[in-house]
Structure 1
Amino acid sequence: MFELRSNPQASVKADLLSGLTVALALVPEAVAFAFVAGVEPMVGLYAAFMIGLITAIFGGRPGMISGATGALAVVMVALVAEHGVQYLFATVVLMGVLQILAGVFKLGKFIRLVPHPVMLGFVNGLAIVIFLAQLGQFKVQDASGDWVWMQGAPLYMMLGLIALTMAIIHFLPKLTKAIPSSLAAIVVVTALVHGLDLQTASVVDFVRAMTGNDAATLEGTLPNFAIPMVPMTLDTLVIIFPYALILAAIGLIESLLTLTLVDELTQTRGKGNRECVGQGAANVVTGFFGGMGGCAMIGQSMINIHSGGRSRLSGASAALFLLGFILFGASLIEMIPIAALVGVMFIVVLGTFEWSSFRIMNKIPRSDAFVIVLVSAVTVITDLAIAVLVGVIVSALRFAWDHAAHMTAKIDTDEQGWKSYQPQSPLFFASITSFLDLFDAKNDPQDVVVDFRDSRVADHSALEAIDTLAERYLREGKRLHLRHLSPECRQLLHKAGDLVEVNVMEDPNYKVATDKLAG
């Protein structure tokens, strides 16, 4: 069913080193997202381990990294605050079931409906979100416990270490590619900070600041299986189902868009429906083992791809390294300066942002440029799922308006005096008014032909428009001949009765999506 070495061109060494790099960067993010959701750090770390391992092995995109994410955490916080963490675990299990069902019913294919401008806006907005998330590392607590911006020597130290990290990541590949430059940068900066005894915040300082516990550490044990302690009643389902549905949708949208992005970077193709099932299975397991659930992480996926990770081994090793840190290496991970990890994420921001979108703004339709900016802005203001939905809706409405405005027809009269209308655009809900305005039932001859050779009847609204047209000619005592319609269209044109003449021999065989057919 799966194969850890799924990409024959990938290197075991590159996959393992890339996995180690990703694991190091996962630690502070998992802790931060746990804090956002209002749960203990271990809940986020366990989720990062289990989600990462299961999706790496069973998911549809080798090389893609999954774990606890901020997009889901901001939805979870209200549930945790009102009902407690056990309800969160139950919600994560139900979320996973919904995602599995989405994969079983092959709903992953609908990611193809996302237009390219929406994808550009998605990655640009996500790059901005990742950047803004790192700015929180430039704050410290003052004597009163309030968070304030760094100033003076601590700020300069932070900026200097970030710059050093970014410089190593940028220039090291020009000298050698034996080890991932991100991993080398983390090791060098960590050694420099502790060798010179530089005063700067480390991972353990971050954890303690997030939890408010000066004795907090990252050391933990293996997660334990436990059924969420919630009443097995309809009331519980009423509480958790809306959250589960929203989380499932956000998780799948973010995962499938990340899958598409990784596809483009690696020039390979993942399997969307398999990813839905993999994500769902991972969340079901996570909910039973005390994790907060998760989905694909575009930032960590970019780190993995740029570090040379290509196969399932890279994602699986990242998860196992993370577990190793929790069980055995917490003291080493706690030593890493936050500045080194911020530097890595800043490089991810620079690599994620589609700088080419600035160059093409004057070369693409204004509507597409607007969608890019809109999706980027909504991503920053709300979340990725809402931004993508807004972008798809705006793009669809723009498409509908453009095609509705260009409804035309070739009009001709043959030697018998029959008048022929040949529509040149798709007939659908937005174009039916323009379509009906093409005809003059009162002044047309006794026989009129509507030839759909160059058009397509797209939906139920179009069928109703044809029925309406037939009724107009019926009232005038004239005959309407409809040609090149599909069998489904002919079946539904009940109002035209015997006046409808259909060219059966030349009718195409395509499906029309209507409620009547579905029922």
Structure 2
Amino acid sequence: MKIAFRPKLLDCLATYDKAQFGKDLAAGITVGVLALPLAMAFAIASGVSPTAGIWTAIVAGFIIAALGGSRVQIGGPTGAFIPIVYGIVAVHGTANLLGATLLAGAMLLAMGLARLGRLIRFIPVTVVIGFTNGIAVVIFLAQIKDFFGLAIDNLPAEFFARIKVLAAHAHTVDLPTLALALACFFFLLFYNRLAQKLKLLQRAPGPLAVLLVGTLVAAIFDLPVATIGSRFNGIPQELPAFGLPAVSIHDIGKLISPAITIALLGAIESLLSARVADGQIDDRHDPNQELIAQGLANMAAPLFGGFAATGAIARTSTNARSGGRTPVAGMIHSLVLLAIVLLAAPLAAYVPLATLSAIVMVVAINMGEWHHFRELRRFSYNYRIILLATFFVTVLFDLTIAVELGMVLACLFFIYRMSELTRVKRLPLHEAADEPCFLYPDGTMRVAAWQLFGSLFFGAVNKLEALLDPAAGHPEIVILDMTQLIQLDTTGLEGLDNLLDKLKKRRCTLLICGLNTQPGSLLRRSGFIDHLGGENVCTDLTAALARATLLLPNLIGSEEDN
């Protein structure tokens, strides 16, 4: 297998010029400024330090842009990872989170090298909508603690335990924190409408404007609220220590399942983001190259203290709308974040956690595709069951279980639907009824013809039993017209083998006609045609009836001999 490694950056540099660099520079600065509050907010919501979020955006964002398969993809920490990362930290600790991220990166890299990028598209949209909306609910609930300023040391990752703890501490609401959070929440929620009326706001991304306003209000009025400085001692104004995560060899087995979850979600979200971006810039991404870059990014980020990263739909869309058209914009976005850390890190200590929680809550509301719930009545029961099951299992239990359940349900419903489309229909042989050799003395037919429609696979092979039903009579020749059979699997092949053997025991001859390419290939390769006899394979129904005319006198003679 030939492994293709060609980042989009190489294609873009061939025609790169100063004009495009100017557009990429402006877009990179815009997205870099937007990414700062989001990186810190997502990190804190995930149970790690804001520093880890920023360095994830810097390191992973640069690699995803430089080596990815999309022209405008912006990588970094995203809201979708919050419940997953928070759960890993709560159960396994921060060091093992970095180890799980590294393992997930290796899995993503292997998926890209194995050219599995297009397989991600096989996940049904119902499953994607279900877990996306479920993740949005989990993220929203996780922010209640900081939004209301509740006096909770450690919030459990499990849903029911989390609700119980939140309810038990509901009386500890901090009014200054709640007031600031509500103001920031509604300001950001209606920011776009305000920006249309105030030209000054149009130049600043909403999350950044809320971050600055919330921080200034808290500082000017000296509000007694928790800040990045009070909880995390600020953000170090230096490069992070480089090194492998301190993971014990005994813990690796426990990290495989979390790593699979990170890899699966990272692959889905990054390729969805790339597809959205394709529509904005009229381009086509390379899914396998994108997975390779995602894998390398997730392997590199933990070496700098970062955690799981993937393509960010909102930041990628902002990049495209701001004029970014090459990976250079994504690389500039990472360099902007690096400059902010090295020059202005001490100022981050004054950022209120209530402001960041408000930003994450708005992100959660915006990431959910809530209109699909309103439209459920328009779709089939299968659609509703898959979407709602995935949604509720994501919220109540675990994303991995939800995706697995959604896929299993989707496969079962697909099998049922395909089996319903597969039909075995008896053909009336009016033109043969006048042939004396085709009739028994009592007028019943000595020849029966059946047509197969659809796919003869493991979910529909039982429909061949109709050919052996005593009510169908006792023909001496059975013709199977396969002109409408488009697919045959090995279980269907076994069903045909059993049918042939049972018909032979009844001294009945089987003829088949109208073989399409795939069924014909399998029947020949398996030896079924040799077992049947090549002379009993006909081109069409007319040829099969002609073959039956030749066979019936011989069959009559055989009966008389007996």
TM-score of the alignment, normalized to the shorter chain, above 0.5 = yes
- Counterpart of 1:447, as a letter, is I
Work out whether residues 436 and 465 of structure 1, in 8 Å CA contact, stay in contact via their aligned partners in 2: no
**Please, what TM-score do these two structures have when normalized by structure 1?**
0.80
Q: Aligned pair 1:63/2:69, yes or no?
A: no
Residue 172 in structure 1 maps to residue 182 in structure 2: no
Report how far residue 30 of structure 1 moved. 1.9
The Cα shift of 1:279 comes to 1.0
| 2:387 is the counterpart of 1:375 | no
- Residue 3 of structure 1, aligned match among 6, 9, 24: 9
Rounded to whole Å, the distance in 1 between the matches of 2:218 and 2:258 is 44
Cα deviation, 1:404-444, whole Å, max 9, x if unaligned, reads 23432332235264432111221111111133335447834
- Candidates 471, 475, 485, aligned match of 2:505: 475
Residue 463 of structure 1 aligns to which amino acid in structure 2?
A: L
Match of 1:512 in 2: none
Preserved CA contact (<8 Å) 1:181 1:307? no
Aligned partner of residue 249 in structure 1, secondary structure: helix
> Partner letter of residue 199 of structure 1?
L
Q: For residues 308-319 of structure 1, what are the structure 2 equivalents within 5 Å?
A: 312-319=327-334
Gaps of 5+ in 2: 1-6, 156-168, 439-446, 542-562
Query: What are the superposed Cα offsets for residues 174-194 of structure 1, whole Å, 9 maximum, x if unpaired?
Result: 554852441563365246515
Any residues of structure 2 matched to 1:351-390 within 5 Å, and which?
Answer: 351-390=366-405
TM-score (normalised: structure 2): 0.74
1:502 corresponds to which of 537, 543, 552: 537
1:379 counterpart letter in structure 2: T
**Shift of residue 244, structure 1, vs aligned partner:** 4.1
**How many residues are matched?**
490
Q: Partner of 2:547 in structure 1?
A: none
Q: Specify the alignment match of 2:46 in structure 1.
A: 33
Matched, 1:98 2:107: yes
Corresponding residue of 2:132: 123
Shift of 1:389: 3.0
SS at match of 1:457: strand
Match of 1:354, SS state, is coil
- Summarize the alignment of residues 440-455 of structure 1 with structure 2, pairs less than 5 Å apart: 440=469, 443-455=473-485
User: Would the aligned equivalents of 2:73 and 2:274 in 1 still touch at CA under 8 Å?
Assistant: no
Letter in 1 for 2:75: I
Q: CA deviation at 1:138?
A: 1.9
Q: Partners in 2 of 1:44 and 1:22 — Cα distance?
A: 10
Provide, for residues 223-255 of structure 1, a one-character-per-residue CA deviation record: whole Å limited to 9, x for no partner.
344345668x8x676565555445433432443
Q: Which moved more, 1:308-317 or 1:444-453?
A: 308-317
97-106 vs 341-350, which moves further: 341-350
Alignment of 1:176-191 (within 5 A): 176=199, 178-182=202-206, 185-186=209-210, 189-190=213-214
- What CA distance in whole angstroms lies between the structure 2 residues aligned with 1:384 and 1:304? 29
Q: Deviations 1:382-410 (Å, cap 9, x if unpaired)?
A: 34443333222212211211222343233
- Residue 138 in structure 1 maps to residue 147 in structure 2: yes
Cα drift, residue 150 of structure 1: 2.4
Provide the C-alpha distance between the structure 1 equivalents of 2:152 and 2:252, rounded to a whole number of angstroms.
45
Amino acid at match of 1:182: G
2:496 paired with 1:466: yes
Structure 1 regions of 5+ residues with no counterpart? 507-519
Give the direction of change, closer, same or farther, for the CA distance of 1:188–1:244 in structure 2 (3 Å limit): closer
C-alpha distance in structure 2 between counterparts of 1:311 and 1:150, whole Å: 47
**SS of the residue 2:377 aligns to:** coil
Check whether the contact 1:89–1:290 (CA below 8 A) recurs between aligned residues. yes
- 2:124 touches 2:410 (CA, 8 Å); kept in 1? yes
The answer to whether structure 1 residue 219 and structure 2 residue 232 are counterparts is: no
Question: Residues 180 and 307 of structure 1 are in contact (CA less than 8 Å); yes or no, is this contact kept in structure 2?
Answer: no
2:183 to 160, 163, 166: 160
Task: Determine the C-alpha separation between the residues in 1 that align with 2:109 and 2:357.
Answer: 35
Q: Percent identity?
A: 24
1:435 equivalent to 2:467? Answer no
Provide the secondary structure at the position in 2 that maps to 1:328. Answer: helix
RMSD over equivalenced CA pairs, Å? 3.8
SS in 2 for 1:248: helix
State which of 17, 22, 29 in structure 1 corresponds to 2:35.
Answer: 22
Query: Which AA in structure 2 matches 1:73?
Result: V
Report the CA distance shift for 1:127/1:311 in structure 2 as closer, same or farther (over 3 A). Answer: farther
Residues 53/129 of structure 1: CA separation in 2 closer, same or farther (3 Å cut)? farther
SS at match of 1:455: strand
Matches of 1:480 and 1:195, distance apart in 2: 88
Cα distance, 1:309 vs. partner?
Answer: 6.4
Q: Is the 8 A contact 1:189 1:340 kept in 2?
A: no
